[in-house]
């Protein structure tokens, strides 16, 4: 028979931490803590399977209800209290808990079990009437909101009215008489809104709360969060029913959240916040600003010492940084949750490398713990230290990195601005789970209230959004759409900059610069290099980028686009002269002028990559790209005609004529790539001469130069054989002139579907293949690379496409063609070296796929090289482990 309900508590625990899929993260870890002898209030978990069944059928199998009843009986027996007992009632919390944490996205009900009768019993038992009624009014409001769908605001405004009536400021100033009256008014609201009385049977309350938590799996904010975080909709949540403990029972009680290491920096230091005399949700909700955890020892020393000890034990047990929640009730500590803590990118790297040094984890685990997104973030911009800053306020540095954007005050505004490509900073009093979409759309978040573990801080760190919280100097005036701070008024859509690493708010737009790789990251990437079997090269077409990429770990150049060299200001006249040439002789003359410049480029690049392979692709784009725009020329002609400068008029007219004659209807499918090389062989000849002369000169200096010449856009084997013949002829001529022998290779891009299909023929002529997945995607889909923005986002919204195929490789279509190409190519040359140099070479999912289908190396832009190194190591382990599993 299926087990649907799992109990946890000292000596009576059914679950364990490895059962997260079934018990959810919270339930599985509560069980694990109980197994470890950590003080956990007892309770039970109803499994995610039940959630899936319930959401499908809208009812429970009989067996679930039977097991639930059995668990309630057990819980009552263990506590020596009964639900709804008028003398001494058992009170419970009801919380969600999916297999991966979704902070604040689903619902929670606290103090369940209070009724008109049991509240009297509770008051007597704890000898504190105010406390009992405070719990009761909180419960009714929470139940009303979460379970019955009555707006929380309706209860809140009654509290405000009561405070006004009594002339008091804070909730804590309300005495038991006031709270009793509030309870009655709250119940009245429910009767009015729902047409029935607030339920007075705790078992009915419990079942309704359980249903509501299961239902909250499908609320809008949970759906949005899952979408943003790639969480499967079919998983469902578990429900945890747990004995209530109270942090609001006076000055030896409190509640808090803590991390075993600093989640922002990764520093090995106990980190967290707490509130004395407060209930759980108060800390995360950011209602009161909490104290730093290290002062708790002065207030409740024994519980603090025990907390520190338990946290260390939990970290060693789970071998990762833990994020815990605790409550101290009258000096006695209870752990309410432990989970792997979310961390910033910098902290992820530091914690992983530190834990290797501490012997807690091995290098492979460390490499697997850091995510590609982390590396991406570390290479994100920060404020230029040279920039002049006008800091207008300071808050808490909740999530590092700098962000610049226009001020908006609502999540919707941030989303709307993002739709039109505008960058924003979302400024809020505090964020709530409803703001999640806006936070994702904004560049950064700034809040007036809340601490380092407030909603904004936790979510900001998780998303990697720069975030400054608790900036109390700011006052937001929503009516007039501005905020004021220290004498400044910042209007909606004014630019501000925030620095989430130090908590500063800066007026205006500040220059940001890219981050560099620190010592820990360097170490981690070296471990990644030791593990990985997939090569990582870079796409670079100038010596500076090549040097940068080498510094970032590139093992050569996988794509040097030579056309980029033609665009230089000093080259464009010679390039245009070459294009304007009416005969071969004039063209050759212009090419002669270009030769030394190209050679100089190659010398620089070869030097930067000494000893490593450099793949140079011969000219690819259609020639008209190097000529001025037709409209620009027409304008110039008009100007000349008005000024009467006849000398130049003819010249411009000639250029216009050439532009018109070169114009193509589909330039991406036109006279480009090897088609250009075949029709104007002298262009490729000049380039090959420049490559080989550069290589000979540097070899003569004693350098090891490894040139690989690559022919673009080949679809027919004869295109390659002809081009290759020309390349080799020129290369041999240069080497003969120089009296040298260079080991060079001639290969081809595979970027047309036809090329993948006839890859066996092509492989006979090629020393290597490199997949140009940009063009291969374009030609496989028939999507113009330059026009996709008009429809691909709509396709994504409509669910026609999951990803933009130009960003994430389409494995089903383009990927299948690649597999055909690899298979056919290697059928004639088993050792054929194959790379990928389209944009996908730096995209994590695509890198893993490329590795799985047998690619030898990926090539990507310099700043993506570290990401590729990490992902390559992770995919090496994944492939190895899958293979070991099979054998
Ligand atoms: C490609 O098509 O994938 C490629 C790398 O070449 P380019 O982007 O220069 O066309
Ligand atoms: Mg291409």
- Closest by CA position to 762, among listed 834, 706, 814: 834
Mean pLDDT of 246-259: 92
For ligand 1, mutation pick of 538, 557, 561 (most atoms within 8 Å of CB): 561
Looking at ligand 1, which residue's alpha carbon is closest to its atom 10?
A: 775
Torsion angle (degrees, nearest 10) of CA 161, 165, 170, 175: -110
Which atom, in ligand 1's list, is nearest to the CA of 559? 5
Using an 8 Å Cβ cutoff, are 337 and 343 in contact?
A: no
Closest ligand 1 atom, residue 770 Cα: 5
- Which residues have their alpha-adjacent CB atom under 5 A from ion ligand 2? 751, 772, 775
Mean pLDDT of the chain: 92
Q: What is the pLDDT of residue 11?
A: 83
Ligand 1 atom nearest to 751, measured from its CA: 2
**Which of 615, 712, 770, 864 should be mutated for ligand 1, with most atoms under 8 A from CB?**
712
Helix 48-57 to helix 202-215 angle, to the nearest 10 degrees? 90
Rg (alpha carbons) of the chain, rounded to whole number = 33
Structure tokens, 486: 């220290």
For residue 82, the cross-strand partners are 89
Whether the per-residue pLDDT at 487 is higher than 70: the answer is: yes
Residue 447 host element (H or E): strand 444-447
Residues annotated as part of the active site:
455, 837
- Å from CA of 422 to ligand 1 middle: 29
Highest mean pLDDT among 101-115, 364-378, 502-516: 364-378
**Could you report the per-residue pLDDT of 188-244, keeping only the tens digit for each?**
999 999 999 999 999 999 999 999 999 999 988 888 888 888 889 999 999 999 999
Q: Which ligand number lies closest to the CA of residue 776?
A: 1
Supply φ then ψ for residue 474, to 5 degrees.
-85, 135
Query: Per-residue pLDDT averaged across 250-278, rounded?
Result: 93
Task: Please list, in sequence order, all residues whose beta carbon lies within 8 angstroms of the beta carbon of residue 838, skipping any fewer than 6 positions away.
Answer: 751, 771, 772, 773, 774, 775, 776, 777
Q: What is the pLDDT of residues 850-886, one digit of tens each?
A: 999 999 999 998 888 999 999 999 999 999 999 998 8
Write the CB contacts of 398 (distance below 8 Å, at least 6 apart in sequence): 264, 452, 454, 456, 457, 460, 461, 467, 468, 469, 470, 500, 503
Q: Whose CA is nearest to atom 6 of ligand 1?
A: 772
Whether the Cβ atoms of residue 546 and residue 608 lie closer than 8 Å to each other: yes
Q: Report the pLDDT averaged over residues 369-382.
A: 84
The percent of residues above 90 in pLDDT, for the chain, comes to 72
Closest-CA residue to 72 (of 44, 47, 93): 44
- DSSP 8-state code for residue 290: P
CA separation for the pair 202, 112 (Å, rounded): 7
Nearest listed ligand to the Cα of residue 777: 1
Pairing of strands 43-46, 82-83: unpaired
* pLDDT confidence bin for 353, thresholds 50/70/90: very high
| CA distance linking residue 195 with residue 217, whole number of Å | 26
3-state secondary structure of 818: helix
Give the Å distance between the CA of 775 and the centre of ligand 2: 5
Q: Which of 12-16, 580-584, 778-782, 825-829 has the least mean pLDDT?
A: 580-584
- Residue 103 pLDDT more than 80? no
Does 774 sit in the ligand 1 pocket, CB within 6 Å?
yes
pLDDT band at 827 (very low <50, low <70, confident <90, very high): very high
What's the 3-state SS for 135-174? HHHHHHHHHHHHHCCCCHHHHHHHHHHHHHHHCCCCHHHC
Residue nearest to atom 9 of ligand 1 (CA): 561
Kindly state if the Cβ of 561 falls inside 6 Å of ligand 1.
Answer: yes
- Beta carbon of 775 within 6 Å of any ligand 1 atom: yes
Ligand 1 neighbour 772 (Cβ under 6 A) = yes
Strands (DSSP E) found in 161-243: 237-243
Residue 839 contacts residue 531 (beta carbons within 8 Å):
no
User: pTM of this prediction?
Assistant: 0.81
Are 1 and 63 contacting, i.e. CB atoms less than 8 angstroms apart? yes
pLDDT at 283: 62
Report the atom number in ligand 1 closest to the C-alpha of 771: 3
Q: Which of the residue ranges 256-265, 358-367, 383-392, 701-710 would you say has the lowest mean pLDDT?
A: 383-392
For residue 646, pLDDT beyond 80: no
How many Cβ atoms are within 10 Å of 438's Cβ, its own excluded? 24
**pLDDT single digits (tens) 517-564:** 889 999 999 999 999 999 999 999 889 889 989 999 999 999 999 987
């Amino acid at each position: 028979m299926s087990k649907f309900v799992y109990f946890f508590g000292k000596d009576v625990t059914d679950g364990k931490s490895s059962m997260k899929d079934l018990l959810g993260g919270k339930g599985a870890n509560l069980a694990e803590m109980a197994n470890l002898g950590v003080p956990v209030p007892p309770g039970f978990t109803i499994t995610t399977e039940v959630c899936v069944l319930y959401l499908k059928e809208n009812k429970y199998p009989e067996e679930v209800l039977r097991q639930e009843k059995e668990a309630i009986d057990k819980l009552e027996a263990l506590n020596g209290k009964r639900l709804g007992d008028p003398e001494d009632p058992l009170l419970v919390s009801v919380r969600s808990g999916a297999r991966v944490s979704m902070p604040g996205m689903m619902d929670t009900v606290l103090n369940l079990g209070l009724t008109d009768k049991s509240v009297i019993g509770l008051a007597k038992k704890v000898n504190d009437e105010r406390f009992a009624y405070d719990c009761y009014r909180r419960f009714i409001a929470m139940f009303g909101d979460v379970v019955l769908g009555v707006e929380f605001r309706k209860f809140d405004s009654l509290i405000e009215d009561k405070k006004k009536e009594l002339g008091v400021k804070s909730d804590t100033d309300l005495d038991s008489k006031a709270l009793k009256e509030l309870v009655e008014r709250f119940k009245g609201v429910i009767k009015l809104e729902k047409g029935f009385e607030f339920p007075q049977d705790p078992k009915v309350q419990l079942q309704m709360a359980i249903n509501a938590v299961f239902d909250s799996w499908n609320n809008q904010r949970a759906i949005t969060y899952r979408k943003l975080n790639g969480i499967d909709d079919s998983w469902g949540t578990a429900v945890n029913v747990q004995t209530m403990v109270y942090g609001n029972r006076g000055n030896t009680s409190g509640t808090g959240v803590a991390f075993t290491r600093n989640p922002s920096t990764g520093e090995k230091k106990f980190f967290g916040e707490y509130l004395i005399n407060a209930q759980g949700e108060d800390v995360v909700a950011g209602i009161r600003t909490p104290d730093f955890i290290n002062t708790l020892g002065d207030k409740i020393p024994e519980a603090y010492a025990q907390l520190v000890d338990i946290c260390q034990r939990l970290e060693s047990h789970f071998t990762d940084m833990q994020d815990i929640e605790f409550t101290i009730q009258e000096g006695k500590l209870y752990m309410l949750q432990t989970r792997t803590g979310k961390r910033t990118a910098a902290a992820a790297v530091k914690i992983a490398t530190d834990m290797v040094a501490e012997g807690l984890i091995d290098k492979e685990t460390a490499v697997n713990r850091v995510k590609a997104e982390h590396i991406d973030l570390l290479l994100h911009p920060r404020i230029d230290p040279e920039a002049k800053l006008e800091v207008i306020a300071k808050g808490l540095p909740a999530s590092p990195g700098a962000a610049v954007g226009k001020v908006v005050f609502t999540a919707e505004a941030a989303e709307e601005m993002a739709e039109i490509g505008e960058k924003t900073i979302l400024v809020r009093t505090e964020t709530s789970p409803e703001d999640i979409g806006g936070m994702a759309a904004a560049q950064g978040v700034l809040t007036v209230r809340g601490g380092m573990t407030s909603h904004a801080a936790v979510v900001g760190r998780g998303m990697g959004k720069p975030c400054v919280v608790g900036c109390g100097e700011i006052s937001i005036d929503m009516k007039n759409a501005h905020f004021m701070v220290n004498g400044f008024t910042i209007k909606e859509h004014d630019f501000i900059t925030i620095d989430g690493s130090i908590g500063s708010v800066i007026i205006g737009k500040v220059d940001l610069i890219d981050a560099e790789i620190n010592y820990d990251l360097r170490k981690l990437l070296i471990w990644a290099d030791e593990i990985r079997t997939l090569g990582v090269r870079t796409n670079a077409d100038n010596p500076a980028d090549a040097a940068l990429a080498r510094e970032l770990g590139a093992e050569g150049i996988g794509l040097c686009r030579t056309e980029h060299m033609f665009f230089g200001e000093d080259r464009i006249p010679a390039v245009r002269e070459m294009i304007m040439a009416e005969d071969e002789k004039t063209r050759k003359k212009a090419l002669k002028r270009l030769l030394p410049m190209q050679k100089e480029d190659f010398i620089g690049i070869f030097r930067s990559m000494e000893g490593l392979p450099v793949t140079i692709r011969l000219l690819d784009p259609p020639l008209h790209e190097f000529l001025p725009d037709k409209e620009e020329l027409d304008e110039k002609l008009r100007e000349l005609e008005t000024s009467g400068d006849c000398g130049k008029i003819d010249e411009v007219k000639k250029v216009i004529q050439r532009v018109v004659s070169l114009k193509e209807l589909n330039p991406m499918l036109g006279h480009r790539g090897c088609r250009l090389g075949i029709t104007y062989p002298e262009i490729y000849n000049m380039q090959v001469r420049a490559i080989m002369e550069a290589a000979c000169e540097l070899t003569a200096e004693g350098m090891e130069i490894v040139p690989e010449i690559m022919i673009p856009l080949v679809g027919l084997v004869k295109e390659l054989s002809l081009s290759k013949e020309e390349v080799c002829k020129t290369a041999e001529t240069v080497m003969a002139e120089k009296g040298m022998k260079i080991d060079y290779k001639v290969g081809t891009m595979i970027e047309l579907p036809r090329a993948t299909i006839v890859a066996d023929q092509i492989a006979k002529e090629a020393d290597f293949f490199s997949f140009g997945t940009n063009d291969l995607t374009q030609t496989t889909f028939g999507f113009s690379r330059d026009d996709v923005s008009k429809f691909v986002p709509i396709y994504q919204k409509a669910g026609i496409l999951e990803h933009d195929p130009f960003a994430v490789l389409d494995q089903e279509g383009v990927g299948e063609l690649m597999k055909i190409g690899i298979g056919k190519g290697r059928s004639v040359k088993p050792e054929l070296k194959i790379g990928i140099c389209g944009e996908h070479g730096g995209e994590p999912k695509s890198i893993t796929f490329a590795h799985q289908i047998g690619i030898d190396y990926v090539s990507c832009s310099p700043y993506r090289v570290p990401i590729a190194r990490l992902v390559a190591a992770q995919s090496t382990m994944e492939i190895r482990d899958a293979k070991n599993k099979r054998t």
